[in-house]
């Protein structure tokens, strides 16, 4: 394990890590102590006080988990910048969140996604979606997130997996338990600024070491700079990303409690929309911050045994003493950001959609906050056990596992939310069928694909992104047919279009600017 960072640390590094922990706990404590009496609104939605910068940084912090740092560097090392598609193509779906979904969520005055669907279709739908959301947060966010963090801490410190995951979970759980969304948002702004600073430093040192940008441009195969790969490309053919990515992206950016919660905590719609626009700009940074690290590593260290080591190799080889401590800090930061946001989403959905609605409808606000906090503790314990279980299943590329799991969880959610927003004729029966039977079908296919008949041995499978798209298409069609055949069609409460607040000119201008920049970037990175 030549990349174990511990061997490379100086007293300065330890001092930096210690200082960081103290600052972080201080920020979290101040954010949570400002109101002694926690209410539902302050615990789960930051008392609807978040401005655009907090929302953007917080969503980005939730999105940038450690798997991304490692995985993007790894993909950059082995295939070039193609993975930037997963970041830049996202702006289309962020625009959808800002202009279509967010106005409806805020007009409906809901705290959770199941609550929003419950308003449309009634209690049965809200219950199904609440359990679906809980399982999704536990598996795709907490367990996989914690596992990848554990792998990271193990790589850095060389301590066993169970120790690293317990330390991480206690740290992340502390903010969620003590301060709720407001503490998490404040902490995330600080952490993301730190992440940008440290990652950019690493990239700049790397570029100087290679001999400048033009030298870097010519030192790698030409196709490394192409965002769009030919249909014959085995890993990321263009049609797979074009068709399959939107299914995951709609579910992830527009319907996922952990992602949308920051927008629900916005001061007003305009701040929410500006915050979502801001994360679109932040995502442009993924190229210089995360992916370029891998491409630089390919030029500087062309004979790595394992591309997954690209990020750590760059850090241990290029950073001087004192800065390595900062890297540990940043890695812990991205982890705490993701895990604390998902713990907060978990506790919000359980406390409001399950406990306050079904278990104890008479519950006082104090009870609900208490249950929310208990949920955080249970979620921590569950995530630790799951992370250790995942660790027992060896030999999976982290990023692809994340994308694949999302690819099978996403189709029913994307289908149901898109129909709800765009097609008033959708019925409760269709929605409940898609969420229950459709989810079982989609996840069943996922289990077969990942474990029973893995594509490495059985070559009849399409690309996992194409598979995700096909599942989505089948479920969408099924929901439309069921809605049309549903004789008991109770018209649901339609959206009052006049009640939806208008999008301000400032918001429209910023989205137009982002769209122009994105199109320009795609043109620049395809001319080879």
pLDDT tens digits, 202-261: 899 999 999 988 898 888 888 888 888 888 877 788 898 899 999 989 998 999 888 888
Task: Compute the CA torsion angle 220, 222, 224, 227 (nearest 10 deg).
Answer: 160
Q: For residue 184, which of 27, 328, 68, 330 has the smallest C-alpha distance?
A: 27
pLDDT at residue 23 tops 70:
yes
Q: What is the mean pLDDT of residues 320-325?
A: 78
**What is the spatial distance between Cα 379 and Cα 202, in angstroms, rounded to a whole number?**
35
Euclidean distance between CA atoms 342 and 77, whole angstroms: 30
The pair of three-digit structure tokens given for residue 199, joined into one six-digit string: 């990652």
| pLDDT for residue 515 is more than 60 | yes
**Position 110 pLDDT exceeds 70:** yes
From CA 489, how far away is CA 264, in angstroms rounded? 31
pLDDT for 264:
86
Q: How far apart are CA 352 and CA 362, in angstroms?
A: 12
pLDDT at 252: 87
What is the per-residue pLDDT for 7?
67
- Average predicted confidence (pLDDT) for the chain: 82
Of the pLDDT bands very low, low, confident and very high (cuts 50, 70, 90), residue 12 is confident
CA distance 150 to 440: 29
pLDDT at 513 over 90: yes
| Predicted structure pTM score | 0.84
How distant, in Å, are the alpha carbons of 151, 183, 480 from that of 476? Answer: 37, 39, 6
In angstroms, rounded to a whole number, what is the distance separating the alpha carbons of residues 378 and 234?
41
Q: What's CA 507's distance to the chain center, in Å? A: 23
Mean pLDDT of 347-375: 82
Mean pLDDT across the stretch 94-116? 88
Closest listed residue to residue 10, CA positions, set 390, 230, 259, 326: 326
- Contacts made by residues 164-172, CB under 8 angstroms, sequence distance 24+: 165/383, 165/384, 165/387, 165/388, 166/384, 168/332, 168/335, 168/336, 168/339, 169/339, 169/380, 169/383, 169/384, 170/380, 171/332, 171/336, 172/335, 172/336, 172/339, 172/340, 172/343, 172/380
C-alpha span between 103 and 97 (Å, rounded): 9
**Cα–Cα separations (whole angstroms), residue 456 to 74, 195, 400, 450:** 20, 36, 13, 10
Nearest-angstrom CA–CA distance, 196 and 18: 20
Distance CA 349, CA 256 (A): 11
What is the rounded average pLDDT of the residues 87-114? 89
Cα separations in angstroms, 316 against 6, 194, 208, 311, 515: 10, 19, 16, 9, 38
Nearest to residue 197, comparing CAs of 326, 14, 77, 316? 326
Calculate mean pLDDT across residues 4-28: 76
Q: Which CATH architecture has domain 5-9+50-392+496-525?
A: Up-down Bundle (1.20)
Q: Once rounded to an integer, what is the mean pLDDT over residues 327-336?
A: 76
Helical segments of 97-160, H only: 102-107, 113-121, 123-136, 144-157
CA–CA separation, 313 and 317 (whole Å): 6
Q: What is the length of the chain?
A: 528
How many CA atoms within 13 Å lie on the side-chain side of 281?
Answer: 16
DSSP 353: I
Residue with tokens 């004192």: 322
pLDDT of 40 > 70? The answer is: no
Query: Who wins on pLDDT, 44 or 107?
Result: 107
Residue 68 in contact with residue 290, Cβ under 8 Å?
yes
- Cα–Cα distance for residue pair 258/137, rounded to 1 Å: 8
The distance of Cα 389 from the centroid of its chain, to the nearest Å, equals 22
CA quadruple 333, 334, 335, 339: dihedral positive or negative? Answer: positive
Q: Does residue 156 carry a pLDDT above 50?
A: yes
Distance CA 82, CA 80 (A): 6
Gap between the Cα atoms of 59 and 73, Å rounded: 21
Written as one string, the DSSP assignment of 374-396 is: HHHHHHHHHHHHHHHHHHHS---
Q: Provide the percentage of residues in the chain whose pLDDT is more than 70.
A: 88
Q: Residue 16: enclosing H or E segment and its boundaries? A: helix 11-33
- For residue 10, CA distances in Å to 1, 2, 14, 319 come to 19, 17, 7, 12
Confidence of residue 50 (pLDDT cuts 50, 70, 90): confident
- Structure-token pair, residue 432: 């409940």
- In this prediction, residue 31 has a pLDDT band, given cuts at 50, 70 and 90, of low
| HEC letters along 475-526 | HHHHHHHHHHHCCCCCCCCCCCHHHCCCCCHHHHHHHHHHHHHHHHHHHHCC
Can you tell me the distance from the alpha carbon of 272 to that of 106, in angstroms, rounded to the nearest whole number?
9
Find the mean pLDDT for residues 9-30.
78
Q: What confidence tens digit (pLDDT) does each residue in 247-262 have? A: 989 998 999 888 888 8
C-alpha separations of 274 from 95, 181, 195, 510 in Å:
10, 19, 21, 8
pLDDT of 499: 67
- CA 338, CA 141: separation in Å to the nearest integer? 8
DSSP-assigned beta bridge partners for residue 266: 50
């Amino acid at each position: 394990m030549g990349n174990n960072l511990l061997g490379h640390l100086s007293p300065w590094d330890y001092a930096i890590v210690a200082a960081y922990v103290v600052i972080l706990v201080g920020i979290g404590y101040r954010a949570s102590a400002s109101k002694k009496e926690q209410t539902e609104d302050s615990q789960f939605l930051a008392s609807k006080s978040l401005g655009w910068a907090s929302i953007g940084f917080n969503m980005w912090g939730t999105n940038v988990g450690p798997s991304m740092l490692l995985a993007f560097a790894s993909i950059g090392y082995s295939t070039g910048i193609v993975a930037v598609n997963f970041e830049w193509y996202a702006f289309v779906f962020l625009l959808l969140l800002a202009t279509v979904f967010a106005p409806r969520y805020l007009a409906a005055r809901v705290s959770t996604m199941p609550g929003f669907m419950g308003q449309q279709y009634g209690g049965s739908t809200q219950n199904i979606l609440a359990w679906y959301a809980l399982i999704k947060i536990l598996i795709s966010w907490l367990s996989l997130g914690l596992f990848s963090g554990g792998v990271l801490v193990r790589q850095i410190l060389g301590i066993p997996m169970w120790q690293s995951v317990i330390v991480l979970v206690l740290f992340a759980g502390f903010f969620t338990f003590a301060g709720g969304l407001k503490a998490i948002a404040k902490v995330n702004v600080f952490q993301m600024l730190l992440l940008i600073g440290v990652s950019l430093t690493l990239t700049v040192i790397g570029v100087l070491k290679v001999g400048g940008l033009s030298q870097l441009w010519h030192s790698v195969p030409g196709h490394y700079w192409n965002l769009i790969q030919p249909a014959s490309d085995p890993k990321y053919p263009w049609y797979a990303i074009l068709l399959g990515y939107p299914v995951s992206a709609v579910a992830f950016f527009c319907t996922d409690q952990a992602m949308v919660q920051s927008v629900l905590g916005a001061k007003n719609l305009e701040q929410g929309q500006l915050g979502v626009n801001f994360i679109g700009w932040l995502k442009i940074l993924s190229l210089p911050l995360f992916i370029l690290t891998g491409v630089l590593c390919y030029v500087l260290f062309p004979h790595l045994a394992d591309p997954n080591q690209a990020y750590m190799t760059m850090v241990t080889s290029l950073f001087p003493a004192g800065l390595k401590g900062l890297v540990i800090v940043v890695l812990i930061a991205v982890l705490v950001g993701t895990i604390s946001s998902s713990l907060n989403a978990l506790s919000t959905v359980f406390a409001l959609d399950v406990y306050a609605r079904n278990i104890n409808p008479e519950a006082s606000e104090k009870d609900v906050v208490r249950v929310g906090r208990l949920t955080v503790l249970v979620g921590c314990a569950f995530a630790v056990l799951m992370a250790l279980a995942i660790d027992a299943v060896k030999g999976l590329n982290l990023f692809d596992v994340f994308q694949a799991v999302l690819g099978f969880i996403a189709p029913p959610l994307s289908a149901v939310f898109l129909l709800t927003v765009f097609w008033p004729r959708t019925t409760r029966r269709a929605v409940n069928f898609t969420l229950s039977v459709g989810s079982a079908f989609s996840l069943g296919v996922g289990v077969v694909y990942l474990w029973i008949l893995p594509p490495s041995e059985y070559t009849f499978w399409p690309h996992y992104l194409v598979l995700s798209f096909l599942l989505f298409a089948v479920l969408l069609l099924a929901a439309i047919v069921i809605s049309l055949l549903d004789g008991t069609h109770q018209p649901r409460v339609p959206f009052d279009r006049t009640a939806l607040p208008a999008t301000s000119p400032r918001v429209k201008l910023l989205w137009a600017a982002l769209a122009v920049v994105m199109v320009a970037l795609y043109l620049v990175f395809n001319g080879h």
